[in-house]
Structure 1
Amino acid sequence: MDPASWVPFADTRPTLEALRRRGVKMGVVSNVPRDLRPVFALHGMADLVDAFTHSFEVGAEKPDPAIFRAACRALGVAPAETLMVGDHPEADGGAAKAGLRVYILPAEMDGDVRGLGRVVELVEGSL
């Protein structure tokens, strides 16, 4: 994967920064067969992510609950205290079987805005 070929949604950075200011630990869980760290680094967002959990590194892929438990261990958080944000109901919804809360992003987008602002509201409601 060429890191330059991946373009984050317009609301990605503001959302990650807002969560960081609130002290929220954040991780990326991915089935993509490449390391996503260079992608986040290229876009200046690597420092906003505390842990990357790749299926090829842990030997399990979404929706297997094992990958979500591995992500929680990497972050040092309990599954019950973790919100999984994803865009695929079946794959990302597997986090619920590991005990995480799950928020599936809306399928409809407003231009290049993905609807990530709702994540900040959900987190604030649980702090």
Structure 2
Amino acid sequence: MRRAILFDWWGTLIPGKSGVPQTMDPEVVALLREAREGGLRFAIVTNQTKTGATATVLRTLGKYDAGDLFDFVLASADLLIHKPDPRIFRMALAGLGVSPCEAVFVGDTPGTDGGCEAVGLRYVLCDRATGVSADELKALLK
């Protein structure tokens, strides 16, 4: 049974590349809110390298009324651990209190995000240009 979804940030929840205007799909936010109310837990694991990356992500989430949907953000800049290092994925699982078989990781870069498979997490690839779509998210929420 799925109890949690871990997300990458750029190219996943925020479509496109780093440095472009940040937007979140309102339909994705609504789906996350509904799933959160149903007990599903969420976290963001990002390779953001700028100092204060966690605060930046949280500010952006707040701008879209989505800050309360995520249990936490793990940013490489703040941890000095980068994906695909398995430790960052283990930290996320421990923080959510779930085992790898109870969660999935959604990302856009197999070379780094795919490192989640080393700890037993299922990896779901999304299109970097569009980010995770509402339809993809609906499939994960089933």
Q: Under a length normalisation based on structure 1, what TM-score does the superposition of the two structures give?
A: 0.79
Equivalent residue runs for 1:43-122 within 5 Å: 43-106=64-127, 109=130, 114-122=132-140
* Paired position in structure 2 for 1:23: 39
Root-mean-square deviation over aligned CA pairs: 2.2
Q: 1:69, CA displacement in angstroms?
A: 0.8
- Greater RCO (CA < 8 Å, at least 6 residues apart): 2
CA distance in 1, matches of 2:61, 2:90: 22
Taking structure 2 as the reference length, what is the TM-score of the superposition? Answer: 0.72
Alignment CA distance shift 1:114-1:83 (3 Å):
closer
Unaligned stretches of 5+ in structure 2? 1-20
Question: Whole-Å Cα distance in 1 between the matches of residues 124 and 81 of structure 2?
Answer: 21
**Number of aligned pairs?**
118
Post-superposition shift, 1:107?
5.1
- Say yes or no: does 1:42 pair with 2:60: no
CA distance in 2, matches of 1:68, 1:40: 21
Aligned to 2:5: none
Identity of matched residues, %: 28
Residue type at the aligned position of 1:22: G
Q: SS at 1:26's partner residue?
A: strand
Runs (4+) of structure 1 moved beyond 6 Å? none
Give the AA of the match of 1:16: L
Question: Structure 1 residues 37 and 107, CA, compared in 2 at 3 Å: closer, same or farther?
Answer: closer
Q: 1:107 to 1:42 in 2, by over 3 A?
A: closer
Q: Aligned AA for 2:34?
A: A
